[in-house]
């Protein structure tokens, strides 16, 4: 199998969790292409220097998974003509009545609920990646770049036959950046920020075990990682487009 080429977090001033999601070998001996699919936290703190780096990527599309109210704060990573707001959940945690999130399994439970409640928009987000990835790089993001974004990226990687261990490793790379973002939001809050200090600290982490539990449950339900995207309603032609544009021959 080809050795993984894992790309470091990009130095984007004002963001904490921007990186190329590619470089991973697949179980059928191919490689997920680099320079095509990017993942990120939100751009509200993006500086002019950070924006210049983002513009240098040449994004074809941005899939913003945040709530409508957070999306409307603007500006985004790209102009409106290239940006799609596909809300997966209005908020990951209700900080007024926070739920129990004390261990990785609680995070996996939260992801199961997201997919069940907003399956239509999870599918739509993956479809939009497939619709645009053939003509240029696509960036998927939410607030921290690890929950809603993590689900969408995991589904795409499953469709590409990226092994479970690599999907888990890719997700867990968001752990330290997410902790850094939480600290920054507490120290220097912006208008419209959620009350992150009131949310359980565990939700501002990305433990490998959380994705391992979430994806392993999907395998148990649907039979394999490759069957998972199709089982939740992602069309076969979308999977084919992802494989065509995101796999090296």
Q: What is the mean pLDDT of residues 169-180?
A: 97
For 110-119, write each residue's pLDDT tens digit. Answer: 999 999 999 9
Selection from 44, 37, 34, 97 nearest residue 66 by Cα: 44
How far apart, in whole angstroms, are the C-alpha atoms of residue 249 and residue 243? 10
Is residue 140 assigned to a domain?
Answer: yes
Report the pLDDT value the prediction gives residue 69, as an integer from 0 to 100.
Answer: 87
Is residue 110 assigned to a domain?
Answer: yes
How far apart, in whole angstroms, are the C-alpha atoms of residue 18 and residue 10? 5
Is residue 139 assigned to a domain?
Answer: yes
Report the pLDDT value the prediction gives residue 26, as an integer from 0 to 100.
Answer: 97
Per DSSP, 191 falls in state T
Confidence of residue 5 (pLDDT cuts 50, 70, 90): confident
H helix count then E strand count, the chain? 10, 7
Report the pLDDT value the prediction gives residue 8, as an integer from 0 to 100.
Answer: 85
Is residue 239 assigned to a domain?
Answer: no
Is residue 132 assigned to a domain?
Answer: yes
Report the pLDDT value the prediction gives residue 29, as an integer from 0 to 100.
Answer: 94
Is residue 14 assigned to a domain?
Answer: no
Instruction: Kindly report the pTM of this predicted structure.
Output: 0.95
Confidence of residue 206 (pLDDT cuts 50, 70, 90): very high
Is residue 3 assigned to a domain?
Answer: no
How far apart, in whole angstroms, are the C-alpha atoms of residue 46 and residue 41? 10
- Domain limits at 204? 19-90+97-233
Res. 96: pLDDT tops 70: no
We report the CATH number of the domain holding residue 209 as 3.90.190.10
Report the pLDDT value the prediction gives residue 219, as an integer from 0 to 100.
Answer: 98
Report the pLDDT value the prediction gives residue 139, as an integer from 0 to 100.
Answer: 98
Selection from 187, 120, 127, 118 nearest residue 147 by Cα: 118
Query: Which residues 6+ apart lie within 8 Å of 231 measured at CB?
Result: 221, 222
Query: Which residues 6+ apart lie within 8 Å of 75 measured at CB?
Result: 43
Q: What total of structural domains would you count in the chain? A: 1
For 35-92, write each residue's pLDDT tens digit. Answer: 999 999 999 999 999 999 999 999 999 999 999 888 998 899 999 999 999 999 866 6
Is residue 157 assigned to a domain?
Answer: yes
Q: What is the mean pLDDT of residues 146-175?
A: 98
């Amino acid at each position: 199998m080809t050795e993984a080429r894992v790309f470091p977090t990009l130095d984007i001033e004002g963001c904490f969790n921007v990186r190329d999601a590619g470089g991973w070998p697949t179980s059928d001996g191919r490689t997920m292409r680099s320079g095509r699919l990017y993942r990120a936290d939100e751009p509200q703190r993006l500086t002019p220097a950070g924006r210049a780096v983002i513009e240098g990527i040449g994004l074809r599309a941005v899939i913003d998974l945040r709530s409508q109210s957070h999306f409307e704060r603007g500006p985004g990573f790209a102009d409106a003509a290239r940006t799609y707001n596909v809300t997966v959940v209005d908020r990951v945690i209700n900080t007024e009545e926070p739920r129990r999130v004390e261990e990785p399994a609680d995070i996996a439970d939260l992801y199961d609920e997201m997919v069940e409640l907003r399956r239509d928009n999870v599918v739509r987000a993956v479809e939009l990646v497939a619709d645009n990835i053939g003509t240029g790089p696509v960036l998927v993001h939410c607030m921290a770049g690890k929950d809603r974004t993590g689900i969408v990226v995991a589904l795409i990687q499953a469709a590409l036959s990226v092994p479970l261990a690599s999907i888990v490793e890719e997700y867990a790379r968001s752990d330290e950046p997410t902790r850094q973002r939480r600290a920054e939001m507490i120290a220097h809050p912006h208008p419209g920020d959620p009350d992150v200090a009131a949310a359980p600290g565990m939700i501002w982490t990305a433990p490998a075990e959380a994705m391992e539990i979430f994806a392993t449950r999907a395998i148990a339900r649907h039979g394999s990682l490759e069957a998972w995207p199709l089982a939740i309603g992602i069309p076969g032609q979308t999977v084919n487009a992802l494989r065509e544009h995101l796999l090296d021959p």
